[in-house]
Amino acid sequence: MDSCPVVKNILLLDSEGKRVAVKYYSDDWPTNNAKLAFEKLLFAKTMKSNARTEAEITMFDSNIVIYKCVQDLHFYVTGGEDENELILAAVLQGFFDSVSLLLRSNVDKREALENLDLIFLCLDEIVERGMILETDANVIAGKVAVNSMDPSAPLSEQTIGQALATAREHLTRTLFQ
């Protein structure tokens, strides 16, 4: 077993098993067709599950999959068969909670599609090249909110944190000119 836990993929599928947002960090599925087949079979295995309140775990194709369903979305985190289930569950919970924070607790397919950029930024903050970077939803959502803010937006439409970041940016720009 490696000293650093590795995530093979993070999937966000809709109620029909279609992709909303997916990221693969492993070469276990070399082609897009292989990835789509994996998603289809995994969804077929887990679609009748009652993983609405708490995450569930299953073995699938020699992988550990932790998953959770909320309204019309299905969240999945996949790791190797030797990975620690609790760590994978922490990744899943961090992903779900950060998406929930960013979507203001309105976690459904329509809202997810409208904010797809924020969801992909969440994925980038959680895992890079399979290595887990962060699982704390508040930290993830904070980094995503800072990265996604529009510096040209009027100060009245920015949060206090965004306004302070904009002011800091303007100050540093004027000091270094």
80 lies in a domain?
A: yes
**Tell me, what's the pLDDT at 155?**
45
Element (H, E) at 11: strand 7-14
Structure tokens at 56: 């569930």
pLDDT tens per residue across span 147-169: 665 555 554 555 556 566 667 67
- Candidates 35, 31, 32, 65; CA nearest to 47 is 65
Strands, E assignment, 43-103: 56-60, 63-70, 73-80
Higher-confidence position of 173 and 155: 173
Read off the amino acid at residue 118: L
Q: What is the pTM of this model?
A: 0.79
Cα separation, 7 vs 132, in Å, equals 7
Domain count, the chain: 1
Neighbours of 96 (CB within 10 A): 20
Does residue 163 sit within a domain? no
Q: Which residue has the tokens 């609405």?
A: 52
Assess if residue 169 is contained within a domain.
no
pLDDT digit string, tens, across residues 74-115: 999 999 999 999 999 999 999 999 998 888 877 888 888 988
Residue 141 forms part of a structural domain: yes
Residue 54 structural domain: 7-151
Q: How many residues does the chain have?
A: 177
Give 3-state DSSP helix, strand, coil % of the chain, rounded to 5.
45, 25, 30
Q: Evaluate whether residue 172 is within a structural domain.
A: no
Is 170 part of a structural domain of the chain? no
- Return the CATH number at 38: 3.30.450.60
Lowest mean pLDDT segment, chosen from 11-25, 50-64, 160-174 = 160-174
Candidates 99, 44, 108; CA nearest to 73 is: 108
Q: Residue 75's closest CA among 7, 34, 20, 145? A: 20
How many helices and strands, by DSSP H and E, does the chain display?
6, 7
Percentage of the chain beyond pLDDT 90 is 43
